[in-house]
Amino acid sequence: MADEIERLTAAQVKADEVIRAVGETPDGGRLLRVAVTDTETEQRLATGFVNYRVDEPQAVVGRVAVPFDLTPFDRYRVRVARKELAAAGGLDMSDAREMARTLGRLEIAVKQLLEVFDEHNPDGQQ
């Protein structure tokens, strides 16, 4: 237990350090939300914002900008969501607890995919 508390404390200190290093005061322009998430617990430890400008047009499919340049963490979240979806395929429908756990994991995966989408589509256009 003490080792886990020490790990979580160190993770929180590092998360705060990262956000202090990259975070900016919103200047009224476009913003990216920067989140630091513990990959072992999937817990968001810190959130900050950075400003950005649009210098080049993005590729557009329909009305949605296609994020060709996903970050490594975005790709990780997509892999996790795919893993959870694949695991749900073998769900034992007779076990209510397993169904609840699986639905909870799928809910988190969908939420994180929507966060990836929102980070690459700050105007909220769908």
pLDDT digit string, tens, across residues 30-85: 778 888 888 888 888 888 888 777 765 555 545 555 545 677 788 788 888 888 88
Check residue 67 and give its pLDDT: 47
Task: Say if pTM beats, i.e. exceeds, 0.85.
Answer: no
Looking at the structure, do residues 30 and 74 belong to the same domain, yes or no? no
In this structure, are strands 30-37 and 60-61 parallel, antiparallel, or unpaired? Answer: unpaired
Check residue 52 and give its pLDDT: 73
C-beta atoms surrounding 16 within 10 Å: 15
CA distances from 19 to 5, 66, 122, 125 (A): 21, 26, 19, 27
Mean pLDDT computed over 95-118: 85
Looking at the structure, do residues 117 and 89 belong to the same domain, yes or no? yes
- Which of 65-79, 89-103, 108-122 is modeled with the greatest confidence? 89-103
Looking at the structure, do residues 27 and 61 belong to the same domain, yes or no? no
Looking at the structure, do residues 73 and 101 belong to the same domain, yes or no? yes
If you write DSSP's letter for every residue of 5-16 in order, what string do you get?
Answer: HHHHHHHHHHHH
Q: 9: buried, middle or exposed (CB in 10 Å: 19+, 13-18, 0-12)?
A: exposed
Looking at the structure, do residues 126 and 99 belong to the same domain, yes or no? yes
Looking at the structure, do residues 67 and 120 belong to the same domain, yes or no? yes
Number of domains within the chain: 2
